[in-house]
Chain A
Amino acid sequence: MAANSALLLSLVEEYVSGLQDSKAKDTARGVKDGQFTVLQLVEALGFSLTNSQTYTRARGVQLLSEVLHECYGGLNEREVEVLIAFYENRLKDHHAIIPPVLQGLRALTKCTALPPGSAVSMLRSLFQDVHVQSLMLADRACVYNMLINLMEIREAELKGLGADFVFGFVQSMDGERDPRNLLLAFQVAKTIIRRGYELGKFIEELFEVTSCYFPIDFTPPPNDPHGITKEELIQMLRDVLTGTPLFAEFLLPLIIEKLDSDVQSAKLDSLQTLTACLSQYEHKDLAEFLEGLWASLRREVFQTTSEKIESAGLAALTALTSCLSRSVLNSDSEDSLCTFINLILEDCKHHLSEPDLKLVWPSAKLLQAACSGSSRASHLVTAAVMPSLVEQYSNRTQCAHRRTLLEVVQRFIQAVKASLSTDNGECCLFMVFSALTENNDSLQITATSVLTSLAQQTGLLLDSDIELAVDHLTRLLLTEEDDRVSLAVVQCVGALAALHPATFITKLIPRLKNEMFSEPIKQDDDNDNKASEQQSHHAVRQRCLSALAAMSTQSSVVQESTPVLLEVLGSAHTGSVDFSVEEVVLACRSLQRIAEQVQDTEETGRCFHEIIIPRLLSLALQAALQDGSSDRYSPLVEEVVLSAIVPVISTSCSRLQPTLAGQTASRAVSLFLDGDVSFLPDNSFPSHIQLLKVEVPRMDHLLSQLEEMSCTCSHPLSYTSAAKCFAGLVNKRAQGDSLDGLIQNTMKRVCSELDSASSPVRTQAFTLMIWLFSLLDDAELGPMAADSFSLLMSDSVDVLNRACHADIRIMYRQRFFSENSAKLVQGFNNAPQEKKPNYLKALSNIVNKLPKQVQVTELPALLSLLLEALSCPDQAVQLSTLSCLQPVLIDPPTALILQLEALVSRLLALTSSPAMDVRIASLCCIHAVSHFPVHEVLPFRARVLRALARPLDDKKRMVRREAVQARAEWFLLGSPGGR
């Protein structure tokens, strides 16, 4: 015990007189460990606390405060009370002692054993004796932290202080400048407002003391040591200002004033603050400022300079109307929403009917923003605006004006909250139909999209309206030649059919079917005429097919539309109706699109797996069997058609009803195996098999058949698809001996059958590599081998991709690259001159397929080789090298800058390449080079400008565009005002 007190005394002595700051920690540890109590510490400090030297006293208090900071948890109520009394008394002491006193008080505010009433007395003496703003930064923070702590644990007591608390706070934060402290002060203010502390007569003072920072203008210091952002401050201040309707009378004039500011960010902040506060306010808070606010908002939207401010202004207007709509009205009070809307209408409506439609867009946007505030507002606005718009529409004769009006109407339809009134709906529909009959493309396109928006308003369109709409759409579909119009019509058909399937089934589908199966009228007199006739008939069929696909999203529609498509295929096969190969392919595409978009239900699943797929397979088989013998030629043996059928099957297997898909798969496999393989020149269909996660039956048998076929069959489509299928299946096999054996066998086989090399190559990249290397030296097969590198690196679209559940290992490309690039470089260096292009091609193929991030890190090592590749005569190599180079040019490595001369001259040479893509890519690269460090590229300026004059007169517009951009940048280089 005696030893302890001696130790304590020495610690105190060393801290106070010896100025060793570390002793505070030791003392605190002693108190925590129970070596000595706080009481003993105070006793030991006795001399220094009463010392007449200010500095010694300060030091003593500081030791006590630091110890308390560490161990406030262990104090009991009695001790706390005494300590608080001591500290409160010290607040009156010399100013040098205040900082440690505040630290001590802050430690005590964290104490749970704070006796009742002490919080109040602490704050009273704090507010009375301390002038916060003359303290140092850290000490001010200390005061705010005290307040935050006390508000957390002693809310009721502080509320007992009444408005004095708010006054004390206002005084202490008045004039705060440091953003770190401001964040704390805003937090206190926010709590005062949110928790309902009594503000008394200090509402305005509290508002003044916080709003003087509005709008926040703060840029963090360069290295941003405290991590405070402008956004953080803005948000905190906004929370304070918008927290209570009591501030309304002060805040709204302030916002109106700040909206006049020239500073963009101030405007934006004001508008967002306005939007935020409106969620709290009621109409009586707003009443007297409505006109002012409206004037400012109108100005911001009419004379906007940035889209951000415009949209913030519109959002504020929406918030304003919805705030006014919320208000509860007395029987005698005026309806402020009505007044406000009238104000808006008065200012905006006449712009909608100005002869030149100059301010029509901003006015319409304002009205629409008001519209979307509430359903009452939208009713008021549309009732006033729509009739005049419709009238305008009928009075105007210029199509451009009419289109603008229609677009305005469409925005209104979308903006309206609940639903358009029936009157207005009819008006709109009238406009839409009249626009659809107009002979103007863009008007028709706009009209279809208005129709779509109208249809989405529930219950607005009657069945008779829909029928009329379908008639109009049908007419456009069958007669309108313009691509954009028919695209818009097809989209509209799709959207409407999803909502009203029945009408489309009964009206549109039979009509389209008729149209497709009718033969073009035979006219023998004029050949030219006949050709154009056929052309247009083909276009009609094309549009019909895409409309059929677009409308089939509901299963009831699918049930009706797919038989039509199948019938097209069927009659194309039998030749009963004359369909071109292209049309047949389109029919397959339509089926595929339906399979992609339709809802996955039992019904549609059955439709696809039990009707469509078997029918497709049997048609393909029949077509294949009849070859040669009959004089007619079925379009279904065409390679394009077969490859269009495959995705139909694979999409439906992967998307619709997995159990049914399993059945389809096993049926297809048995068809393939049990039938005679040789009679199927179209083995493309089994390639869908690996889509399934289910185990494919009789795997080994299937594999050997496929292998056989890929090596022996002479029909090119057969052997590539067999090889693809084989690859897909092998990819799925579990790793192990059987797989290795399989690959070994295949390898042997493949080596002996060099001409089918390029396709089975994908089976296993790593083993095949060695073999491919031996090929690169073979002059004849070299280019082919190089091409297969690209095959290995790319995700094959149809078989080995993720959608087909293929087993793709991560980082495959990176590993492939790192294992093989070195070998390629070595091979290049050793190869004789005429073989070098093969290596370059292989290299640029693999580099091109690497993910961009990897490219950028790996490329510097390969630069010289790639530059070499630029002068290789093969256009594909040039193109793929240019596309590798482009990302690197954005952040050029030093190695590249050293070779700038070679790079620039090769790129310039390529700008006159015969291939358009190469010219474009090289111009892009030249553009990128202009952003290199100025002193490096400036020497090339004159030369590049001269060389770029030629592509300015290129025969292709896309080349000229790149040339113009690149040349403009090079002109700016090193020129005053440029770079």
Chain B
Amino acid sequence: MSGGTHLENANPVIFQRSGERLLTATDEDEDIHDPIDDREIFDILFVSINDPEHPLSLEELNVVEQVRVMVNDAESTVGIEFTPTIPHCSMATLIGLSIKVKLLRSLPERFKIDVSITPGTHASEDAVNKQLADKERVAAALENSSLLEVVNQCLTTSRST
């Protein structure tokens, strides 16, 4: 999507990727219940969402970090804080929306999903948070086919296929 056009943040700092989750013996044991944990949510996000400006995953840009993912399987809540690459990033809402849509599609219905910007990392933090928390605005955004198209492009896995 970048093409020859001007990028807002042409030289992002790139972070090392953490490796694949290691399989443990309990993962293969039929009888044990594996709770949904932070790392699982993190994996869902990082394999599949691309930054709209860069051909890199959100993990590599440090937009999503594992420590900022909070899951409570028993209470069915997920909270995610993401960090835009620069404080004035105009794509912040879009990234937030992509994260939210991805989680809506990937988690059981019982979960309440809360996506917000890491405090103090974006100029118009409150406005974006408010937009993302508003169920009706999210639903309306997804009715808009051109917006849905951009979100879907962010969610298309280029790396794995």
Contacts and interface: CB of A to CB of B under 8 A. Distances in A.
Interface of A: 262, 303-305, 358, 361, 915-916, 949, 952-953, 955-958, 960-961, 964, 967-968, 971-972, 975-978
17 contacts: A262-B4, A304-B14, A358-B13, A361-B16, A915-B30, A949-B109, A952-B106, A955-B32, A956-B30, A956-B34, A958-B23, A958-B28, A960-B36, A968-B102, A968-B105, A968-B157, A977-B148
A971 B151 contact: no
Contact of A977 (B27, B34, B149): B149
Nearest to A975: B152
B33 interface: yes
A404 to B, nearest CB: 9
A361 B16 CA distance: 9
Contact of B152 (A949, A960, A972): A972
Contacts of A262: 4
Contact of B148 (A361, A960, A961, A976): A976
Contact of A956 (B27, B55, B155): B27
A919 to B, nearest CB: 10
Given A976-B148, A977-B149, A977-B156, A957 B107 contact: no
B138 interface: no
Interface in B5-36: 11, 13-14, 16, 23, 27-28, 30, 32-34, 36
B54 interface: yes
Interface string B79-109: 0000000000000000000000010011111
Interface in B37-75: 40, 43-44, 48, 54-56
Nearest to B73: A953
Contacts of B155: 968, 971-972
A978 B152 contact: yes
A952 B27 CA distance: 16
Contacts of B32: 955
Contacts of B34: 955-957
B121 interface: no
Contacts of B14: 304
A126 B148 CA distance: 65
A977 B110 contact: no
* Contact count band on B: 35 or more
B4 A976 contact: no
A955 B40 contact: no
Interface of B: 4, 11, 13-14, 16, 23, 27-28, 30, 32-34, 36, 40, 43-44, 48, 54-56, 102, 105-110, 145-146, 148-153, 155-157
Contacts of B109: 949
Contacts of A978: 152, 156
Nearest to A967: B105
B161 to A, nearest CB: 9
B149 A958 contact: no
B111 to A, nearest CB: 9
A977 B142 CA distance: 12
7 smallest A-B Cβ distances: which pairs?
A977-B149, A977-B152, A953-B108, A976-B149, A957-B34, A955-B33, A964-B106
Of A304, A305, A916, most B-chain CB atoms within 10 Å = A305
Nearest to A303: B11
B152 to A, nearest CB: 3
A304 B48 CA distance: 21
B54 A305 contact: yes
Contacts of B108: 949, 952-953
A303 B61 CA distance: 12
Contact of B156 (A361, A953, A972): A972
A971 B146 contact: no
B105 A971 contact: yes
A442 to B, nearest CB: 12
Contacts of B157: 968
A631 B112 CA distance: 64
Contacts of B110: 953
Nearest to A948: B105
B103 to A, nearest CB: 10
B151 A977 contact: yes
Contacts of B105: 967-968, 971
A410 B101 CA distance: 42
Given A305-B55, A949-B108, A968-B48, 7 more contacts: A303-B11, A953-B108, A955-B33, A958-B23, A958-B28, A971-B155, A978-B152
A968 B149 contact: no
Nearest to B40: A957
Nearest to B105: A971
B130 to A, nearest CB: 25
A975 B106 contact: no
Contact of A967 (B27, B55, B106): B106
A964 B44 CA distance: 8
A892 to B, nearest CB: 17
Contacts of B48: 968
Nearest to A957: B34
B150 to A, nearest CB: 6
A61 B86 CA distance: 73
A958 B43 CA distance: 12
Nearest to A262: B4
B149 to A, nearest CB: 3
Nearest to A263: B4
B1 to A, nearest CB: 11
A915 B157 CA distance: 29
Given A358-B13, A964-B44, A977 B150 contact: yes
A507 to B, nearest CB: 33
A297 to B, nearest CB: 16
B19 to A, nearest CB: 12
Contacts of A968: 48, 102, 105-106, 155, 157
Contacts of A958: 23, 27-28
Contacts of B145: 976
Of A262, A305, A949, A977, most B-chain CB atoms within 10 Å = A977
A424 B12 CA distance: 35
A304 B12 CA distance: 10
Contact of B107 (A915, A916, A952, A955): A952
A958 B30 CA distance: 11
Given A305-B54, A968-B48, A977 B153 contact: yes
Of A262, A358, A361, A957, most B-chain CB atoms within 10 Å = A957
Nearest to A978: B152
A952 B105 CA distance: 9
Nearest to B101: A971
B38 to A, nearest CB: 13
B5 to A, nearest CB: 11
A262 B33 CA distance: 50
A958 B22 CA distance: 11
B86 to A, nearest CB: 15
Contacts of B149: 976-977
Contacts of B13: 358
B156 to A, nearest CB: 6
Nearest to B30: A916
B44 to A, nearest CB: 6
Nearest to B26: A957
Contacts of A305: 54-56
Contacts of A975: 148, 152
A361 B14 CA distance: 10
Nearest to B152: A977
B3 to A, nearest CB: 9
B137 to A, nearest CB: 19
A958 B14 CA distance: 29
Contacts of B23: 958
A956 B44 CA distance: 15
Contacts of A967: 105-106
Nearest to B44: A964
Nearest to B10: A303
Nearest to A958: B27
A359 B156 CA distance: 30
Contacts of B153: 977
Nearest to B107: A952
Nearest to B56: A305
